[in-house]
Amino acid sequence: MRTRLALALLLAVAPLPLAAEVIGTMQPAAPLTEERIAQLPAAEQAAWRDYLARSVAAMARDKAVLEAERAALAEAGQPTPAPPPDGSTSGTLPLDRDPVWYGGAEARALADNVVSFQTPAGGWGKNQDRSAPPRVAGQHWIGADLKAGPYAAQDGAGGWSFVGTLDNDATVTELGLLARVQAQLPGTDGEPYRQSFRKGIAYLLAAELPGGGWPQVWPLKGGYHDALTLNDNVLVGTTALLQRVAAGNDDYAFLPADLRQQAAAAVERALAVMLDTQMEADGRPTIWAQQYDAITRQPAGARNFEPVALSTGESAAILQFLMRQPEPTPAMRTAITAGAAWFAAHALQDVAWNASDPEAGRLLIPEPGAGPLWARFYDPVTQTPIFGDRDRSIHDRVDEISRERRDGYSWYNTSGNAVARAYARWSAPG
């Protein structure tokens, strides 16, 4: 059953008078808590309690290891190491080189960094320079020790933030590199990378939400980070990796049958989640939101300027992924056809999203022949573009939000072009 918005969650806004420029207010997403689990039917509570307990235990282990390492350093009179340098994880972990390259010194140095920064729970942090030296005892696994930083008071995990995440292609990218490196080192030299890979897959399986899909951060961090996440390729990227694991071909041939079977089961659940969360309006399938409440699977907002909405970038990725499936089911075909039709119907023509006036900042301007473009977010009910600001206000015109948000966020994109090209190939006869 595709996701239908509950009446109380329509747009997740507080309605305001029609004459007002602000059309609503973004409501923060609810975290996964014991209190919320207790409100579920009795038969559903055990799975969620087990999941939450698994998360709490994993975070406690991660913290205990770091604290023990730092206590040992303090006892020896040695300082706490500086956090690792920030950077682009995917930019420093190439996955498209010639296979032979992955057996060389450069790739192995990257793999050594990856293994060293794997958390005790089995995941990795995000936005890290993997060409930097390996982790040393007492060094944080993430690029900033938020426990003592100014963000700590706002952080749902008490300053323990993104220590294990699928955000920004983290964890999936590290696992992709490890698979390639170990394939070039079939003997004992490759065993550390194989062990780290298996631990990473166990992390993904442990982080999987009851019923399928993954949160943005695990162990759970709180807020929208606990939600079932499509944003930043979390659902598609993780499912695609587990499909490769389940197939057990090429770089993944070393994996045991039981792990491949577990991966295959997680893939089936994830595909069901994709179909279940395609949203409907007036009884017709549309596209997808960025994230959904983990328990209710109702669409959820994220940051203050990211309200409940149909989200074109994430939806384009889902549609292209479904079109790559070798044996699409009738339900997949229905979802693909409906999604492609939605994109075709909502293309914006003869407009450009640019900064033509340095004083005014980025604006949507008339430009004959330009386009097509799509807004990043659409109201799930009216299916017209909406825009959020840092004060949680929701607008129906991009020029009504602050200059900082207009210039600092991708409010329009060309994602529908990729959908159209893929759909033309997918639907072609023969």
Q: Say whether pLDDT at 154 is over 90.
A: no
The domain ranges of the chain are: 1-29+277-430, 32-226+231-276
pLDDT at 151: 41
Percent of all residues in the chain with a pLDDT value above 70, rounded to a whole number? 91
Q: pLDDT tens digits, residue range 289-341?
A: 999 999 999 999 999 999 999 999 999 999 999 999 999 999 999 999 999 99
The residue to which tokens 């990473």 are assigned: 200
Which pair of structure tokens corresponds to residue 351? 């407009």
Report the predicted TM-score, pTM, of the whole model to 2 decimal places. 0.93
Maximum CA extent, the chain: 72
pLDDT at 20: 42
Closest listed residue to residue 178, CA positions, set 95, 57, 280? 95
pLDDT at 360: 84
Q: Say whether pLDDT at 152 is over 50.
A: no
Return the H-helix or E-strand segment holding 310. strand 310-311
116 CB neighbour count, 10 Å cutoff: 15
CA 190 to chain centre: 29
Q: Say whether pLDDT at 15 is over 60.
A: no
CB 143 within 8 A of CB 130: no
pLDDT at 307: 97
Q: In sequence order, what DSSP letters do the residues of 91-125 get, joined into one string?
A: HHS-SSS-GGGGGSHHHHHHHHHHHHT--TTS---
| Banded model confidence at residue 429, pLDDT cuts 50, 70, 90 | confident
- In the CATH scheme, what architecture does the domain 1-29+277-430 have? Alpha/alpha barrel (1.50)
CA distance 146 to 143: 9
Domain 32-226+231-276 annotated CATH 3.90.1150.10: no
Interior CA angle at 261 toward 230 and 259, to 5°?
90
Which residues are known to be catalytic? 168, 303
| Banded model confidence at residue 144, pLDDT cuts 50, 70, 90 | low
Read off the pLDDT of each residue in 403-410 and give the average, rounded to a whole number: 94
